[in-house]
Structure 1
Amino acid sequence: MAQHDPALIDFEASCLPEYGQSYPIEVAVARIDGESRSWLIKPPPRWQTWDWSEEAESLHGISRAMLACDGLPPAQVFAEMVAFVGTCEVYSDADLDGFWLEVLCEELDEKLPFPIRFLGEWMAARGLTREQVDAALEEARRRLPKAHHAREDAKRLALVVRLLIEEQPA
């Protein structure tokens, strides 16, 4: 993996911010080399009084019981995530991923470990056309159709980037 290769990040949350005070419950990072990791986040006591959406749970399939049983402490998730990202530049397709990274860092009294850039900026900087992006998205959705699961969403975005890189002349 080359230094500063893109990595894609995706969070799932207790609810969307417009529905209440939300917190991250899962984070996944996928690198374009095909490696990916995901972590369930055990809510610290302070978050347990925050909002939870049944609608969000039905989308991502993560319950409070799963987090209590299988979730990892936020500090462990943070440390492992930062180590996995390494020197990659981190991208996302949604501003909310940056918001939930901030919530996680705030809980741990940590500085943001890396900026999360908007994936569209990466595409625009390479002069990619809408047709190229749409074709890569369609192929990635065909190969990885499962949605609203952090690891699958991050892997799909990483595949889009890899397909676009492979398409460009060296």
Structure 2
Amino acid sequence: MTLPTLLDIEASGFGRGSYPIEVGLARADGSTCAFLIQPLDEWTHWDPKAELLHGISRNRLAREGHPVRQVARWLNDELAEVGVAYSDSWGYDNTWLSLLFHHAGMLPAFRLEALRRLLSEAQMARWSDIKEAIIEERGIHRHRAGEDALLLQLTYQRTLEIAD
């Protein structure tokens, strides 16, 4: 079975003016990667509640973040061949992805789709129980982009196995 590629984005907050601060992928082979994003000067919105969730400070982004254009290029390199990645928070993630590519002066070489498009009723019915079980089993640190993308992929895989 080929697993879908999952994408997750952590952000500076959820309201107007929020921007992406970390993007992570879980690839079809189950490997993951994630990059912190260096905020642009005009990206000033910062929600302390969001920082409490993901645990990433603005100082850390300034020190360890990668330039917007580099992250956009990396995403295109990773996803152009696959053509599509899936997100469980499509509304937010697609907005932040569009912002990232706009400021990079690039177009994405892939589509971002809502994960629920892949799920049957049976999978959706079991989703949150299975997701919680995987978090507990693996000790997954939530709200980090790479770990969250992997969690979604593992949950998808297990809901398929149970549905069969």
* Aligned mate of 1:108, from 104, 109, 112: 104
Pair 1:58-2:56 in alignment: no
Instruction: Please give the secondary structure, in 1, of the residue aligned with 2:158.
Output: helix
TM-score, reference length from structure 1: 0.83
2:13 paired residue number? 15
Pair 1:158-2:158 in alignment: no
Provide Cα deviations, 1:32-88, integer angstroms capped at 9, x if missing partner. 4211110000112232xx211111111111111101110011111111122223415
2:66 paired residue number? 72
Unaligned runs of 5+ in 2: none
8 Å CA contact retained: 1:32, 1:162: no
Distance in 1 between residues matched to 2:22 and 2:10, nearest whole Å: 5
TM-score, reference length from structure 2: 0.86
C-alpha change, 1:133 and 1:55, in structure 2 (3 Å) is: closer
* Aligned mate of 1:25, from 21, 25, 30: 21
Distance in 2 between residues matched to 1:9 and 1:28, nearest whole Å: 6
Unaligned runs of 5+ in 1: none
The more displaced of 141-150 and 103-112 is: 141-150
8 Å CA contact retained: 1:28, 1:37: yes
8 Å CA contact retained: 1:28, 1:150: yes
Structure 2: which amino acid aligns with 1:60? H
1:96 paired residue number? 92
The percent identity for this pair of structures is 34
Structure 1: which amino acid aligns with 2:146? R
Aligned residues: 161
C-alpha change, 1:141 and 1:70, in structure 2 (3 Å) is: same
C-alpha change, 1:70 and 1:8, in structure 2 (3 Å) is: same
